[in-house]
Homo-oligomer: A and B are copies of this chain.
Amino acid sequence: MKLKVKNLNWMAGRPVAFLHEDTAKRINVFANDRLEIVKPKKVYAIVDIFSKVVKKNEIGISLELGKILKLKTGSNVEIKTSEISNATFLIRKKLSGKKLSQSELEFLISEIVHNNLSEAEIAYFTAAEKLRGMSKEEIINLTRAMVKTGVKLKFKGKFVVDKHCIGGIAGNRTTPLVVSICASQGLIFPKTSSRAITSAAGTADVIETLAKVELSIDEIKKVVKKTSACLAWGGSLGLAPSDDKIIRVERLLNLDIEAQLLASIMSKKIAAGAKYLLIDIPYGRGAKVPNLKKAKSLGKKFFKIAREFGLNLHIVYTDGSLPIGHGFGPVLEMLDILKVLRNEIDAPQDLRDKSIFLASEIFKMCKIKNPRKLAENALISGEAYQKFKEIVNAQNGSNNFERRVANLRLGRIRRTIYSKKSGRIKRVGNHEINSICRILGTPETATAGLKLHKKTGVVKKSDPLMTLYTESRNKLDDAIKFIKKNNPIIIA
């Protein structure tokens, strides 16, 4: 059946299409069913029935579906009803504890990419991965499937490098610093990052406070050609596109699924075209990985996948027991980064130290001499800051760095929390800091988050511990309730 596209400025949070009720009856679909758009490209959409907004010969397109379809109002599409995806049988198979083959995983992942599985079906798949586990072969095949169903980038140059940090540590926004340091010394660093999964903010959320991060492949290439680097959001590029859909579902419960974590990271890196990859696995109380032993066991699995795909991999295991930086939330983290780049006196020392360490490890991989000194000098000399400005300006296609920085602002609604007793800080919880930020509205609300006034040492009664920032009074109330229940800073 042919229908005319009607693009609607309607955000549903997922790819949905409006049909007239007569049209729905004719092709025998019901609300919340899936519909297959056959031409001009194969895309699945969820059906809403709303006869007031579309005529019998029209299909109303939500913004999310419009982004995939990229068709003008009035264009023709050919649609048909979607049969129940065979991938549901594969999910049942995995739930029952059986292994999935390479071709089965490829089919499953391609159904996710084409929107032919609902979020609930993806939830079942990830639950099966978590509870049944995935074999080494399955993880490698999953990685392959995730790469294969997307775009693959290629960059010229010997030293095309990349880095990744297993999340879980609040703050820890080293990426913009490491990229700026390395690129300022001649390495090619086409960095694509994700948005937050379980934390207050992802690198893409933080960069977005200053720069456009939703770049096209061509834009990335231009930016990298001009500046040797980029700081883009990976989600809009179509690199391992199944990943974001899966992550969105995992995020509902803040689940960490090892197989999915391995495949997710490696597929993005392989698709992004790096030749040298540094992975940082922080461990410790409150980190995603509780101790060094587990960190090394995870590291081994990364090496197995890297070997399979011919990637040079180096792994560092770092202390992840404390949040890194002063601020948590997109804008707050960007302010920390700017302080480090500008060598300001109150720059977070831990963020600076870790960034220098990671940059020097990347230099080492590339056999560059005096790696540590080189990294530190790049910061002190301002070369890294200059590089960061170049990247931001190149991504914005405009020399507006200073103006964008001047416009950074924090949430209108603020509240400082004071210590109720004197004593020594025993622990600052990564999980709790991240949860508070999420309740305050991050990462969607870039101006939200929290700033720690102290992370270690002694505090006195009535000393300020943290300041909360948000745009919603309800969210502030919820965050304060949460803090009362789940003390994020233990003083003894």
- Identify the A interface with B (CB < 8 A): 8-14, 16, 21, 27-28, 30-33, 46-53, 64, 80-81, 83-84, 88, 91-92, 95, 118-124, 127-128, 130-132, 249, 252-255, 438-439, 441, 444-445, 470-472, 474-475, 478
Q: How far is the CB of A212 from chain B (nearest CB, A)?
A: 20
Specify how many copies of this chain sit in the oligomer.
Answer: 2
Q: If the complex has contacts A11-B31, A31-B12, A131-B127, are A83 and B121 also in contact, measured as CB distance less than 8 A?
A: no
**Are A11 and B252 in touch, CB under 8 angstroms?**
no
**Are B12 and A252 in touch, CB under 8 angstroms?**
no
Per CB-CB distance, the 6 closest pairs between chain A and chain B, nearest first, are: A13-B32, A127-B127, A13-B31, A11-B31, A123-B123, A120-B123
Q: How far is the CB of A256 from chain B (nearest CB, A)?
A: 10
**Are B14 and A32 in touch, CB under 8 angstroms?**
yes
Most buried by B among A8, A255, A438: A255
**Apart from A13-B31, A83-B478: 15 A-B pairs, beta carbons within 8 A:** A8-B52, A10-B49, A11-B31, A12-B32, A28-B472, A80-B474, A84-B438, A88-B252, A92-B255, A95-B130, A118-B252, A121-B123, A123-B124, A127-B131, A128-B131
**Are A81 and B474 in touch, CB under 8 angstroms?**
yes
Contacts of A438 in B (CB 8 A): 84
User: Which of B31, B47, B122 touches A120 (beta carbons < 8 Å)?
Assistant: B122
- Name A128's closest neighbour in chain B (CB-CB): B127
**Are A13 and B30 in touch, CB under 8 angstroms?**
yes
Contacts of A81 in B (CB 8 A): 472, 474-475
Contacts of A478 in B (CB 8 A): 83
CA distance A1 to B248 in the complex (A): 29
Contacts of A14 in B (CB 8 A): 32
Show 11 residue pairs from A and B whose CB-CB distance is below 8 angstroms, ordered by the A residue.
A8-B50, A10-B48, A10-B53, A11-B50, A12-B48, A13-B48, A81-B475, A92-B254, A95-B127, A119-B123, A124-B252
CA distance A10 to B32 in the complex (A): 12
CA distance A252 to B91 in the complex (A): 10
CA distance A454 to B122 in the complex (A): 40
CA distance A323 to B47 in the complex (A): 33
**Are A95 and B255 in touch, CB under 8 angstroms?**
yes
Q: How far is the CB of A272 from chain B (nearest CB, A)?
A: 27
Q: If the complex has contacts A48-B13, A50-B9, are A28 and B88 also in contact, measured as CB distance less than 8 A?
A: no
**Are A252 and B121 in touch, CB under 8 angstroms?**
yes
Contacts of A30 in B (CB 8 A): 11, 13, 444
CA distance A21 to B46 in the complex (A): 22
Q: If the complex has contacts A123-B124, A253-B95, A474-B80, are A13 and B33 also in contact, measured as CB distance less than 8 A?
A: yes
- Name A122's closest neighbour in chain B (CB-CB): B120
- Name A411's closest neighbour in chain B (CB-CB): B28
Contacts of A128 in B (CB 8 A): 127, 131
- Name A21's closest neighbour in chain B (CB-CB): B11
Contacts of A475 in B (CB 8 A): 28, 81, 83
User: Which of B47, B439, B474 touches A84 (beta carbons < 8 Å)?
Assistant: B439
**Are A52 and B10 in touch, CB under 8 angstroms?**
yes
Contacts of A249 in B (CB 8 A): 120
- Name A46's closest neighbour in chain B (CB-CB): B13
